[in-house]
Structure 1
């Protein structure tokens, strides 16, 4: 008996180590993906700036991407993987393996058929869809070019759905690295093809260079999607599961696909609210002025970089621990861990917010400013970025609090909070978009994210063991503390920044003109902040330091 327990402990330990390694590898891939996504936006800025063609590309890419997020990703993560895992657990003999293979083939057939139908309809209806995103006075040439770009990129929906299906098989088999790498591959291909293809495209219509670059990027998106699917296919083949098609009748009547569809339908309602929000925001952005769509996208890419590095990683890491504590009903430790995660997010995002408010123009200029991304483009993006960045903490903390609900098996309350958030966002966008343009749309997202946070705390009171009032009180005290520290740290940066910029303004390379000032001001801000944390003996900072020291000692041992 002892031997068996020892064997089980070893197996559990090996499994935990394997999952930990997979989690770390996936975090590294996520970070690389965010960096490459930023480089893709930098490429877009260099070739398109905030021109009408930048907006055209943004709208054209958003339309198939909307269906991808709504159906492909949602179907795989929420419905296919859990169902596939169920089949794998029952896969003990030849007959059960045959049923699993039939389910895999039926799902691939269903995904391929439905996405092919949507793709064909999207290509046909593109000229009718595109005007919904523009005002009545928009140049007909821009409308036609946006429809053309939409038609180029709509097949991306078909290939990326196949890629998502392959990811589902791999993740179901606990293989994460290939799927984690594909976004890096996609962004790299888009960048590469944009640079190679833009000067090579024929131009009988004498289109401006921005139009050719938008077309090149569109071909890059489609090619990148194809490579995302092709790259994963050999790894899927190694698992032993065949990627074959079956008849449509078998696909629609397979018990597994019926279960997948039953799981998808409820979640699509929640996802549709989110996608409707994105759709309405983009549509209004396209109507309020040239460059608004692209400036919003440039700003969001900077924000997503920070969120991807910290919030998503912390949320992913704490979910298994919270689930374990909830199962054991160790509520004191559960609440302590949740509060600590929230405080870590505040420790990161609040100082980043204040630094970005002071040096946002320098950051945007460093990342994006080129011949096509002019000073006017910088100011347009900065106006949006300031309103986006003040919502950084709320967006990040929502991704930390939601796993606390999931840990207890409750997905309804965070979904309800999300729907309320999206409703508020749409209402504010409709009110503020025309008078404030991009800034109004950005502010709407920030305000809605705050509302989401408030409702998550309200809903905490309905959960067993969660001390909403205590967590909220301690969180607010810590936030005020971080705001005070950040204001103090921002003061020397605010006064020194003009002199540093002037010292490097004579150089022609933007990495020197803006990069060195950003580096110096960031160091001043960070050193001031660290000194304040040490002087006031901040417990969260000390906790992080202790964990880093313990990990180093464990590695040495």
Structure 2
């Protein structure tokens, strides 16, 4: 269910990017919106998703296992108070510091970028409270409201872009209004479900909030993570700043490329990681390491089953896909070329980024935030060195290649650090993942060969019949052929993971 809702959300997110492409293209104003939204979004990942996954859920799980309702209420009240104070302070400082931060990006539309940044910074407050509600619900294995919430964000942004653009200075400001409304709705939609579970909390004094044992435990876990997450966010900031110096449109082309990558990540990797964390946390707290290992190995194999074939399909059909989704009057052939050059180097990193979304919760479940933090810092160093070296000769493609390489380094480091716990069967998991990945890569190559010869014929036949027919039908036909060959190979070899996934859907129907 979470994957289905996330699929809807990511498709709507893609439509949101298509809306931006139609209204702004890869213009300087598009770059301005991309940077302005990225800045509060970076803090969101630090205060919202990062904190909730790293510290809140494992700590809250301990309170739930203890079962003392009074302690649970005090803990939730303390976290709400601390989070509200800290995020409000950050929003105020962000609004004041916007002119200085935006200067780092060398934006053509400097004044408009500052205005949009200030306009969207309160989004951080809404989304942080939404993440707090999500953490409560996920801890008791309720995932649907959190899966539905981002749908509202995307719908609000799309509607505001079209409905408010005629009444505002530019479409970027209309989309910014949609971001704020959507952030508020993300929090509002989850609150009734929290109350329905019987959880009650209120604001308390900041002194009482900081003295709560649960808050102290969360802060101890978050401490190292803030450094690692800050390095990760700085990663994005520096990469974007480097891309901003590579020429107009490069920042936007990277954002469009990442949106395609995140569509796949969000549907599968994020969903699996979200559901996996509470299970791993409970297994670790109760020392059920056999269950822990089975869950982790199964998740890694499923990630390979999903991401490896999609990577090969995207490498084969990248240009067709980009033209289908984004090409308009404002998103011309030059925009397609810019986005494609980044996408070809972003998509090989898909497998490693997805694995990182699975491996990081394996540490958080053990209340270990230091290991993924160290891995994040080291991979950040690799990314920035490579991006700085490659951005001049390769422009956006160099920044994308640096990110993919750094993601692979991060995966290797996480696996090395995971070996420190003798209860975790890292060797078995790694052998399983490597053999299975190689098998899927071979199958994907075989499935992609016919597309190399068929795709030009399909594009030629349907050319000149409108964007959705000219590129949509060739893409759908190529995808069906690729999937059919891949599934046939899996059936012939009696693939266990594919059989398990098919069995799961069969049970759901029954």
TM-score by length of 1: 0.82
Give the Cα–Cα distance (whole angstroms) in 1 for the partners of residues 370 and 152 of structure 2. Answer: 35
Report the equivalent of 1:198.
165
Q: CA 1:351/1:131 → structure 2, altered by over 3 Å: closer, same or farther?
A: same
Q: How does 1:218-367 map to 2 (within 5 A)?
A: 218-239=176-197, 244-316=202-274, 320=279, 324=283, 327-328=287-288, 330=290, 341-367=299-325
1:314 to partner: Cα distance: 4.0
Aligned to 1:552: 506
1:441: how far off? Answer: 0.6
Distance 2:211 2:281 in 1: 38
Map of 1:5-404 to 2, 5 A cutoff? 25-84=1-60, 86=62, 97=70, 101-134=73-106, 138-139=107-108, 142-172=109-139, 175-201=142-168, 203=169, 212-239=170-197, 244-316=202-274, 320=279, 324=283, 327-328=287-288, 330=290, 341-404=299-362
* Runs (4+) off by over 6 Å: 333-337
Cα distance in 1 between the residues matched to 2:369 and 2:304: 24
One of 516, 530, 539 as aligned partner of 2:487 = 530
Change (3 A) 1:237 1:160: same
Counterparts of 2:259 and 2:493 in 1: how far apart (Å)?
A: 31
Cα 1:383/1:86, change in 2 over 3 Å: same
Shift of 1:379: 0.9
Following superposition, the deviation at residue 144 of structure 1 comes to 0.3
Structure 1 residue 448 corresponds to structure 2 residue 406: yes
Q: Distance in 2 between matches of 1:71 and 1:399?
A: 17
Unaligned runs of 5+ in 1: 1-24, 204-211
Equivalent in the alignment of 2:476: 519
Deviations 1:394-423 (A, max 9, x none): 222333444555566655434433332222
Structure 1 pair 337/539, CA: closer, same or farther in 2 (3 Å)? farther
Check whether the contact 1:115–1:157 (CA below 8 A) recurs between aligned residues.
yes
Distance 1:531 1:26, change over 3 A: closer
Q: 1:405 to 1:145 in 2, by over 3 A?
A: closer
Contact 2:58/2:281 (8 A) holds in 1: no
- In the superposition, relative to structure 1, how do residues 468 and 427 fare at CA in structure 2: closer, same or farther (>3 Å)? same
- Does the Cα contact within 8 Å between 1:45 and 1:368 map onto a contact in 2? yes
Would the aligned equivalents of 2:303 and 2:351 in 1 still touch at CA under 8 Å? yes
Render the CA deviation track for 1:170-193: whole Å, top value 9, x for unaligned.
445654433332111111111111
Structure-1 separation of matches of 2:450 and 2:150? 39
Map Cα deviations across residues 38-86 of structure 1 (whole Å, 9 max, x no partner): 2211211111111111110111111111222212333344444455555
**Contact kept in structure 1, 2:318 and 2:340, CA below 8 Å:** yes
Contact 2:79 2:209 in 1 (8 A): yes
Distance in 2 of aligned mates of 1:108 and 1:85: 17
Partner of 2:380: 422
TM-superposed deviation, 1:518: 0.3
Indicate if the aligned counterparts of 2:303 and 2:355 stay in contact, CA closer than 8 A: yes
Structure 2 CA distance for aligned equivalents of residues 169 and 232 of structure 1: 10
- Give the corresponding residue for 2:439: 481
Q: Distance in 1 between matches of 2:238 and 2:412?
A: 24
Unaligned runs of 5+ in 2: none
Q: Report the secondary structure of 2:166's partner residue.
A: coil
Deviation by residue 1:121-146 (Cα, 9 ceiling, x = unmatched): 22222112111111xxx54xx10000
Deviation at 1:480, TM superposition (A): 3.5
1:494 to 452, 473, 479: 452
Give the match for residue 14 of structure 1.
none
The CA distance in 2 between the partners of 1:254 and 1:102, in whole Å, is 8
Change in 2 beyond 3 A, CA 1:455/1:230: closer
Contact kept in structure 2, 1:421 and 1:451, CA below 8 Å: yes
TM-score (norm 2): 0.89
Deviation at 1:27, TM superposition (A): 3.0
How far apart in 2 are the matches of 1:317 and 1:247? 33
Note if contact 2:55-2:367 (Cα within 8 Å) is conserved in structure 1. no
Tell me, yes or no, if the aligned pair for 1:285 and 1:433 is still in contact at 8 Å: yes
Check the 8 A contact 1:323/1:408 in 2, yes or no.
no
SS of the counterpart of 2:317? helix
Higher Cα Rg: structure 1 or 2?
A: 1
**How many residues are matched?**
508
